[in-house]
Chains A and B, each alone.
With several copies, the nearest count.
Chain A
Amino acid sequence: MAAVAAIFIVLTGHIMKINWFKYASPASFYPLAGKMIPWFAIPALILAVIGMVMGLFVLPPDFKQGESYRIIFIHVPAAWMSMVIYLAMAFWAIIGMIWNSRLSSMMATALAPTGAIFCFLALWTGALWGKPTWGTYWVWDARLTTQLILLFMYFGYMALHAAIEDPRRAARASGLLAIVGAFNVPIIYFSVQWWNTLHQGASVTPTKSEMAASMASVMLLMAIAAWLYAIAVTLKRVRCEILDRERHAAWVSELVDEAK
């Protein structure tokens, strides 16, 4: 998990590092982001299609769970992403605070909905999966409950952001919340280990994998697709955010004129 988080952060951070000083300003980042989106969106689509075909049709049914296990290919990547994205949000919020950079706080804001959607997806697929395996949609198991709590952390972030009219104050306040909340994510995650739990423990770890290699590789495929998708969508949303906040800036009016 931590490794996954690190990779994601470094990856998104790396993208931003290209000519940092030039592109740290919203005005020059806007077109750059526009150019970058297809580079993430298209591979995401391709990998997702491959992963889905493999996962749904090619791989054989599980000897214990039959067909229902196939939900794992969405469930697990979504669950990972939901945690990673919160940390990434906090990362951008910290950058935004330290260097007082508007773009970073916009990144944080733009990440939130994607994270929330992944989180919801993990809950939804998990609940659907719960019915055939545990015989119920919901149990108050630690992993499930903490995932729900994570969803509420996203909602809290978005609610705070929405409740503040002034965009600058909104970004600063919700950024602070993301940072405080980021301490909470690993605590919640590991606190599960102290709990007796119905849910499966981590079976994919950097050192050993219990899963069949074919299954693991499909899952990896799906996970990468999820990353690429998250990055593409976030860039898209940052662009909207930039336009909204900079609507009085000269370059935005020029852009609008060009479009006309």
Chain B
Amino acid sequence: MIAIFRTMLSRELTLGLRRKADALMTLFFCVIVASMFPLAVGPEPALLKTMGPGIIWVAALLASLLSLERMFGADYVDGTLEQMVISQHPLPVIVFAKVLAHWLTTGLPLVLISPLLALQYGLEAQDGLILVATLLIGTPILSLLGAVGAALTLGLRGGGVLISLLVLPLFVPVLIFGAAAVDDAAAGLSIEGHFSLLGAMLVAALILTPWAVASALRISIE
């Protein structure tokens, strides 16, 4: 089970990071997205400072949404997903490896670059740290929940509309608590509540979604 996990993880990472340039791509992407807002809203530093956490969170959301379709889509089209489903290994483990790889290639780079973005938006050092922490907890949730949506939408059977209706609203609480934690910290309020909520969501997602995704895949592959 560990062997298959390791193989699948390295497969996904190889695919995601065929070249060094690929790894950098998400980083650049976040920076570009973050640069769009000041262009549109204007250069007012105080305004940008308050918007900062929200913007960085939106960049995270967008980066995971943009790459969701490929999480299973490519494997579905070329038949490798079939082979995973009928392999003797537990499907949730394979799924978990794929989701982890997705996070490592889209979520983690974002977490890593977020201090720089925080600096650019003039956030205080401490607020920046809190932002990084929320992203560290929040982005895996995005990957996990996104995987459910991606699996269900594969062949687009059971009403695809339903899925985006399902996944995006699930993202919303993550987004809100994530961005709110930073704001509240800046305002001197307690943020333990936010963090424990985010943590609880992460744990729940970690435990439940691999199974949900596995069954969704079995259904979609018919």
Asked if chains A and B are in direct contact (CB within 8 A), the reply is: yes
* A176-206 interface bits toward B, Cβ cutoff 8 Å, 1 = contact, 0 = none: 1101110110011001001111100000000
Whether the pair B21, A149 counts as a contact (CB closer than 8 A) is no
Residue A158 at the B interface, CB < 8 A?
A: yes
A191 to B28, CA, bound (A): 23
B215 neighbours in A (Cβ, 8 Å): 176
A176 touches which of B152, B162, B172, B177 (Cβ 8 Å): B152
B158 neighbours in A (Cβ, 8 Å): 159, 163
Min distance, Cβ B76 to any Cβ of chain A, angstroms: 14
Whether the pair B153, A160 counts as a contact (CB closer than 8 A) is yes
* B188-221 interface bits toward A, Cβ cutoff 8 Å, 1 = contact, 0 = none: 0000011000000100100011001001100110
Min distance, Cβ B214 to any Cβ of chain A, angstroms: 11
Residue A32 at the B interface, CB < 8 A?
A: no
Dominant SS among interface residues on chain B: helix
Residue A139 at the B interface, CB < 8 A?
A: yes
Whether the pair A136, B122 counts as a contact (CB closer than 8 A) is yes
A142 to B177, CA, bound (A): 12
B172 touches which of A146, A159, A196 (Cβ 8 Å): A146
Whether the pair A169, B222 counts as a contact (CB closer than 8 A) is yes
A7 neighbours in B (Cβ, 8 Å): none
Whether the pair B157, A155 counts as a contact (CB closer than 8 A) is no
A158 to B38, CA, bound (A): 26
A152 to B170, CA, bound (A): 10
- With both beta carbons as reference points, the residue of chain B lying nearest to A141 in the complex is identified as B43
Residue A10 at the B interface, CB < 8 A?
A: no
Please classify how large the interface on chain B is, using the bins under 10, 10 to 19, 20 to 34, 35 or more: 35 or more
A147 to B173, CA, bound (A): 13
B21 touches which of A162, A166, A176, A180 (Cβ 8 Å): A162
With most chain A CB atoms within 10 A of its CB, the pick from B162, B172, B208, B222 is: B172
Residue A140 at the B interface, CB < 8 A?
A: yes
A179 to B156, CA, bound (A): 20
B28 neighbours in A (Cβ, 8 Å): 152, 155, 159
Question: Which residues in window 121-176 of B have CB below 8 A to A?
Answer: 122, 145, 148, 152-153, 156-158, 162, 165-166, 168-170, 172-173, 176
* A126-163 interface bits toward B, Cβ cutoff 8 Å, 1 = contact, 0 = none: 00000000001111111001101110110110111011
Residue A172 at the B interface, CB < 8 A?
A: yes
Whether the pair B148, A180 counts as a contact (CB closer than 8 A) is yes
**What is the interface size of chain A, counting residues whose CB is below 8 A from a CB of the partner?**
41
A188 neighbours in B (Cβ, 8 Å): 172-173
A197 neighbours in B (Cβ, 8 Å): 43
Once A138-B120, A159-B25, A163-B153 are accepted as A-B contacts, the answer to whether A148 and B35 lie under 8 Å apart by CB is yes
Dominant SS among interface residues on chain A: helix
Whether the pair A173, B21 counts as a contact (CB closer than 8 A) is no
Once A163-B158, A166-B222, A188-B172 are accepted as A-B contacts, the answer to whether A139 and B21 lie under 8 Å apart by CB is no
Whether the pair A163, B39 counts as a contact (CB closer than 8 A) is no
A9 to B19, CA, bound (A): 33
B170 touches which of A138, A173, A181, A191 (Cβ 8 Å): A181
- With both beta carbons as reference points, the residue of chain B lying nearest to A136 in the complex is identified as B122
- With both beta carbons as reference points, the residue of chain B lying nearest to A146 in the complex is identified as B172
A176 to B219, CA, bound (A): 10
A152 touches which of B21, B22, B43, B165 (Cβ 8 Å): B165
Whether the pair B162, A160 counts as a contact (CB closer than 8 A) is yes
Residue B63 at the A interface, CB < 8 A?
A: no
Whether the pair A153, B169 counts as a contact (CB closer than 8 A) is yes
Whether the pair B35, A149 counts as a contact (CB closer than 8 A) is yes
A183 neighbours in B (Cβ, 8 Å): 204, 208
Once A162-B19, A176-B212, A176-B216 are accepted as A-B contacts, the answer to whether A137 and B172 lie under 8 Å apart by CB is no
**A-B residue pairs in contact (CB < 8 Å), sample of 13:** A138-B120, A139-B43, A139-B45, A140-B38, A140-B45, A142-B176, A152-B165, A159-B28, A159-B162, A160-B153, A162-B21, A166-B222, A180-B212
B residues contacting A by CB (< 8 A) are 19, 21-22, 24-25, 28, 31-32, 35, 38-39, 43, 45, 48, 119-120, 122, 145, 148, 152-153, 156-158, 162, 165-166, 168-170, 172-173, 176-177, 180, 193-194, 201, 204, 208-209, 212, 215-216, 219-220, 222
A residues contacting B by CB (< 8 A) are 136-142, 145-146, 148-150, 152-153, 155-156, 158-160, 162-164, 166, 169, 172-173, 176-177, 179-181, 183-184, 187-188, 191, 194-198
7 closest pairs, A vs B, by CB?
Answer: A140-B38, A187-B173, A156-B166, A140-B43, A163-B156, A162-B21, A153-B169
